Structure 1
Amino acid sequence: MADALLGPAEIRELAARLGVAPTKKLGQNFLHDPNTIRRIVAAAGLRPDDVALEVGPGLGSLTLGLVGAVAHVHAVEIDPKLAEALPSTVTAPNLTVHPADAMRVRAADFDPAPTMLVANLPYNVAVPVVLTLLAELPTLRGGLVMVQKEVADRLTAGPGSKVYGVPSVKLAWYADAKPAGKVPPAVFWPVPNVDSGLVSFSRRRPPAGDIDRSDVFAVVDAAFAQRRKTLRAALAGWAGSPDRAEKVLVAAGISPQERGEMLTVEQFTAIAAAAKLSAVGGKLSASDRQPEEVDS
């Protein structure tokens, strides 16, 4: 595998031959360090029978590392020129290139079904891509993604951390996540002005019961929209009033004076469950609302 990996000279030569220039719009920073590629492939915990999903393969640096480590690789590339060129760079029978937007792919697009997400994700869409793919592809058992270090910190933060927020909780719904190391800017072309971080995650059973994910995520969004406020205040709009928010919180066993940044995903789920039982959080009947709340 080592001889096949692309270094800085090969990356620039390949880009010049294709007439490709990295664009900020697509968040393109091409990885060109073979040691980093080997590190990512090793840290991903891949099995020979895995089917890897790579988003944003670009010029194929990481793709070359993946095709020798797994049974099959699905590479999703939004840039049509790069998608067309990839099979020429990575001439592997176990590679399928999908010229598509990763935010719009569906499970039916992939055969065989992906089991691991391994990708150097564009910084500008990293969080929504990870959450969308975990929601859309239940066959994913885990993965390793490289994102901006600040985003990696948020994705892996726990309750009480200053950077704990919506991405932290929503990823925790799907998976157990942990930081897997820092990556310096020098291994990319062009060189970004920030460090990158690796995030490793393993699929877990959602703490749901019969509560819909969308109901839990609505509570999370409301709680962090005003993260410095108490939950009684922050959830007032979602519940219909501060008093109703307090009622739901008490029923869920959570202090109304607590803040969202201190709650686990299980506690947010408990709030959504309590709301369902008391018919709040967007589920109030017209007769239960105040007159000004009745739909016109």
Structure 2
Amino acid sequence: MDTPAAAHLLGPVEIRQLAEKLDVTPTKKLGQNFVHDPNTVRMIVAAAEVDADAHVVEVGPGLGSLTLALLDTVADVTAVEIDPRLAAELPHTVQWRAPDHAAKLMIIQKDALQVTHQDFSSAGAPEPTALVANLPYNVSVPVLLHLLAEFPSISRVLVMVQAEVADRLAAQPGSKVYGVPSVKAAFYGEVRRAGSIGKNVFWPAPKIDSGLVRIDRFTSRNQPWPITPETRARVFPLIDAAFAQRRKTLRAALSGHFGGGEAAEAALHAADIDPKLRGEVLSVSDFVRLAGVIS
């Protein structure tokens, strides 16, 4: 049996050719910066540690740099692309650079913030087991949290985001940059920084550095609390309230949520949390306990 030929990855010349062909100018509005360095996309795939059985969802594939590297490794890729020109061209790019892998690519032309199970089903795409993407920088956290909520099948995440966003996502309680994204990401699994990416691997080069974030989702065996819509609906409003006014104590910050300061204080005591603390020192398990999901 013949082994499929490796994909020919895109370099700066091919990226410019494709952009010129499509009359595409990367836009800030869509958070577009196209990776033109083959070594970088290989590094992203390696950091994701996805294997030949993985069903990957890629958000914002752009001109296809990362897509081609993924197709070399995984079972299939479902690319979610909002730009109709890019979505229409991607299959042609794969046919050009990696014809042996063309059948492994599926496209969903839609805003990633709106994509659902039904979209995957309609496209004939399998439930994704991994999210690997250079996320559009202007909506990276909302897209990440939406996909984790919508697809419990995603067990591994490796995303490239702005460096400061990567720091926030991977921050620990007590850190200056610890906040809502840190806690909500940690609700789903183990979050860590997985690398740094410089400006010069992109076209156009952004003004800031980028970072890789990896999330290994809790499994049924090591799940510390139920990862369900019901649990999320109880925990996430608490997180939002606790960080809405960072300087306030938890008693004050959560008084609106619990219907008064005394009620908030009683709930905090019941969860063995000091009401005089601030939200920035609470771990996700503290928030889950406060929501009454675990004792």
Same fold (TM over 0.5): yes
Size of the alignment, in residue pairs?
A: 276
Unaligned runs of 5+ in 2: 96-101
> Which of 99, 106, 123 is residue 96 of structure 1 equivalent to?
106
Return the match for 1:207 from 218, 222, 225: 225
**Distance in 2 between the 1:108 and 1:46 partners?**
24
Task: Letter of the 1:81 partner, please give it.
Answer: R
Q: Which runs of 5+ in 1 are unaligned?
A: 278-296
Secondary structure in 2 matching 1:76: strand
Q: Does 1:186 align with 2:205?
A: no
Report if aligned partners of 1:207, 1:265 keep a CA contact under 8 Å in 2: no
Q: CA deviation at 1:109?
A: 2.4
The aligned counterpart of 1:6 is: 10
Return the index of the structure with the highest Cα Rg.
1
- Of 127, 150, 162, the residue aligned with 2:176 is 162
Instruction: Give the CA deviation at 1:2.
Output: 6.9
Which amino acid counterpart does residue 117 of structure 1 have in structure 2? L
SS at match of 1:73: strand
The SS at the match of 2:157 is strand
Gap change, CA 1:34 and 1:2, over 3 Å in 2:
farther
Q: TM-score, normalised by structure 1?
A: 0.90
Residue equivalent to 1:244: 263
Amino acid at match of 2:174: G
2:242 aligns to what?
A: 223
Shift of 1:206: 5.7
Q: Deviation of residue 3 (structure 1)?
A: 6.2
After TM superposition, the score normalised by the length of structure 2 is 0.90
Q: Which of 53, 70, 74 is 1:70 aligned to?
A: 74
* More displaced 10-residue stretch of structure 1: 185-194 or 99-108: 99-108
The alpha-carbon deviation at position 229 of structure 1 amounts to: 1.2
Per mean C-alpha deviation after superposition, the further-off stretch among 190-199 and 234-243 is 234-243
Given the alignment of the two structures, is residue 174 of structure 1 paired with residue 193 of structure 2, yes or no? no
Q: Distance in 2 between matches of 1:4 and 1:170?
A: 38
Q: Percent identity?
A: 59
The amino acid of 1:100's aligned partner reads K
Name which of 239, 244, 253 aligns with 1:234. 253
- Note the aligned Cα RMSD (angstroms): 1.7
**1:105-151 deviation per Cα after TM superposition (whole angstroms, max 9, x unaligned):** 11232221110000000111000101000000011111200000000
